Amino acid sequence: MLGLSARSISNILFWATRKKWLILSFLLSLSSFYLPSPEGLDSSGHRILIIVAVTLILIVSESIPLPAVAMLILIMQVILGIDTPDGVASSFMSDSVFFIMGSLMLAVAIVSQGLDKRLALFVINLTGNKTWRIATGFLAISAILSSFIGEHTVGAMMLPVALALIKNAGVGIRKATNLSTLLLFSIAYGCAIGSIGTPSGGGRNVIMIGYLAEFGMAKISYLEWMKYAYPMLLLEIPITSAVLWFTFTPSQKVMDSSVRKLKVQVAKNGKMTLDQLLAIIIFIAVFLGWVFLSPYIGLGIVALCGVFLYLSFGLVEWKQINENTNWAVILLFGAAISLGIQMKETGAALWVADQILSYLQIFFQDIGIVRWFTSVVMTGLLTNLLSSAATVAVLGPIVLDMGGDPIITGLMTSIASAFAYLTVVASPTCMIIHSTGLITSSDYLKAGWKLFIISVVLLFLISHFYWPIIS
């Protein structure tokens, strides 16, 4: 056939079956390009929505590498005539992208200091040897730490502590038990609820702050954010802990010998080194910078200052940072933010917002409820399919165009994007615990759906009763 050998045909077939979503998105974008623009949407808005649809399909289906998706977003913006090459380039880089890049690099710098064993000792000394206290301690410490230093750092450092405890308990780390499930979910969900606490808890918080500033809607400082979000985090700790305990009640109620073995293992490590101390001091300086300097120089620049210090003091090598930083994520979020800005500028975000409002008003009379439903429930569900930051990057401009107090809507969206309880792909920490082979995809649903509903209700109550008092 066409002079092709059976082998080439087989190769083409293989490619086509593996890339069916890429082919589909290409056909979809081509056909919708020739459709007339819907009423109320101009042609550039129409085109930007095509790019959004293609992006979503390609991210969810994972049919091409993420950096390729990022490049496609930029290429399509220029080719479809939405913006000039220089315009696209300038919307690609922003302080939010600096922040995402800086915080991923900080994570590498902190993780490479070998502080995990010290953290283990700290956790165990705090919790004692009762299993419920250990699980709650894991959850609380993961939540509080990740609210400042980001969830990937904490997830990577807490995981070995949990695995060591499980291994020492003699239940084997290769067979899932309620004990292993409980401890691992305590880390993953702890990191998820922690990430809402401060702007530096997750890239998506910074993306939202960036949008609010870029669109000239509002400015929110590090401490103000904490005032809004931290109470929710603190309330979620005991609730999540209880839900996890009753869903995965382990047979071992005390982990006496396991804790003792861990202490012996960790004690071999000796005293804290000067480098470790310096690493902690630099991080505290970064935190203070976020609190006091970020209104003037931006969260991203403060994060980059931290990376600069770690590199200059020789606490981490560039090679290490280069190898362990996820450049794909940085490229993708840069591109997604640029897409979000174009959605706002072309009026596509407003059009989608209007469509959603008019459609949902059939079900809910109150526009406040519609706004709440979209920013909380839709964000929460989408975050479990995409990733939280991509969700905020794409949905952010839409929900902000729905009217209402932009700070309230923005915060609700950012917080709801942390409800990453339901799937493996929802957040890096969910993936980290899944990669141990101890957690299956269906485990995420067992406690996840309860937590999802509880979190949605809790956010509703807080945003309706607490936020109006402080704003």
Partner 1 sequence: MKILIAISSKEYSEPTLDVGMKISRELNASTTILDVGEKINEFSMKDVDLANEIIESWNIGRPGMDVLEWAYFYLIENDFIDSNAVEESFSKKILHQKSSNRAEIHLEGLTLERLNLILRNGDIIDELRDEVKTYNYDLMIIGGSGKRSMAHDFIQYIESSIFIVNNFNPDKNYRILLAVDDSPGTSKAVKYGVRVSQAFGITVDLILVSKSGDYNEDSTFALERAKKMMRRCGIKTEVFLKVGDPVLNIVEAAGEDHIIIMGASTQSPLAKFFMGSKPLNVIGKSNCPVLIVK
Span near partner 1 by CB under 8 A; candidates 300-308, 358-366, 401-409, 426-434: 426-434
Minimum distance of partner 1 from residue 390's CB (angstroms): 8
For residue 258, the cross-strand partners are none
Residue choice 23, 33, 62, 457 for contact with partner 1 (CB under 8 A)? 62
User: Binding segment for partner 1 among 48-56, 134-142, 155-163, 456-464 (CB under 8 A)?
Assistant: 155-163
Does residue number 236 form part of the binding site for partner 1 (CB under 8 A)?
no
Check binding of 263 to partner 1 (CB under 8 A). Answer: no
207 binding partner 1? (CB under 8 A): no
User: Which residue lies nearer to partner 1 by CB, 45 or 334?
Assistant: 334
The distance of closest approach from Cβ of residue 14 to partner 1 in the complex, given in angstroms and rounded to an integer, is 5
- Shortest distance (Å) from residue 10 CB to partner 1: 4
* Choice from 218, 227, 436, 456 touching partner 1 (CB under 8 A): 436
Choose, by CB under 8 A, the member of 24, 163, 217, 235 that binds partner 1: 163
- From residue 391 to residue 420, what is the string marking binding to partner 1 with x (rule CB under 8 A)? ------------------------------
CB nearer to partner 1: pick between 105 and 462: 105
Of 7-36, binders to partner 1 (CB under 8 A) are 7, 9-10, 13-14, 18
CA distance 211 to 205: 10
Among 1, 2, 35, 362, binds partner 1 (CB under 8 A): 1
Under the criterion CB under 8 A, does residue 273 sit at the interface with partner 1?
no
SS3 annotation, the chain: CCCCCHHHHHHHHHHHHHCHHHHHHHHHHHHHHCCCCCCCCCHHHHHHHHHHHHHHHHHHHCCCCHHHHHHHHHHHHHHCCCCCHHHHHHHHCCHHHHHHHHHHHHHHHHHCCCCHHHHHHHHHHHHCCEHHHHHHHHHHHHHHHHHHHCHHHHHHHHHHHHHHHHHHCCCCCCCCCHHHHHHHHHHHHHHHHHCCCCHHHCHHHHHHHHHHHHCCCCCCCHHHHHHHHHHHHHHHHHHHHHHHHHHCCCCCCECHHHHHHHHHHHHCCCCCCHHHHHHHHHHHHHHHHHHHHHHHHCHHHHHHHHHHHHHHCCCCCHHHHHHHCCHHHHHHHHHHHHHHHHHHHHCHHHHHHHHHHHHHCCCCCCHHHHHHHHHHHHHHHHHHHCCHHHHHHHHHHHHHCCCCCHHHHHHHHHHHCCCCCCCHHHCHHHHHHHCCCCCCHHHHHHHHHHHHHHHHHHHHHHHHHHHHHHC
| 167 lies in the site for partner 1, by CB under 8 A | yes
Output the smallest distance, CB 40 to partner 1, in A: 34
Pattern 179-198, partner 1, x by CB under 8 A: --------------------
Q: Closer CB to partner 1, residue 183 or residue 400? A: 183
Q: Does 383 bind partner 1 (CB under 8 A)?
A: no
Q: Which of positions 64-83 make contact with partner 1 (CB under 8 A)? A: 65-66
Only one of the segments 85-93, 166-174, 241-249, 297-305 lies at the binding site for partner 1 (rule: CB under 8 A); that segment is: 166-174
Nearest distance, CB of residue 306 and partner 1, angstroms = 17
224's torsion region: left (phi>0), alpha (psi -120 to 50) or beta?
Answer: alpha
Instruction: Report whether 48 contacts 349 (CB < 8 A).
Output: no
Strand partners, 254: 130
Q: Is residue 143 near partner 1 by the rule CB under 8 A?
A: no
* Region binding partner 1 by CB under 8 A among candidate stretches 113-121, 234-242, 270-278, 374-382: 113-121
Question: At its nearest, how many Å lie between partner 1 and the CB of residue 124?
Answer: 14
Q: Does the CA dihedral 65-330-413-348 come out positive or negative?
A: negative
Rounded to an integer, what distance in angstroms lies between the CA atom of residue 112 and that of residue 317? 10
**Does 204 participate in binding partner 1 (rule CB under 8 A)?**
no
Q: Which is nearer to partner 1, 131 or 429 (CB)?
A: 429
Using rule CB under 8 A, residue 169 touches partner 1: no
Q: Which residues form the interface with partner 1 (CB under 8 A)?
A: 1, 6-7, 9-10, 13-14, 18, 62, 65-66, 104, 107-108, 111, 114, 116-117, 152, 155-157, 159-160, 163-164, 167, 173-174, 265, 324-326, 328-329, 387, 424-425, 427-432, 434-437
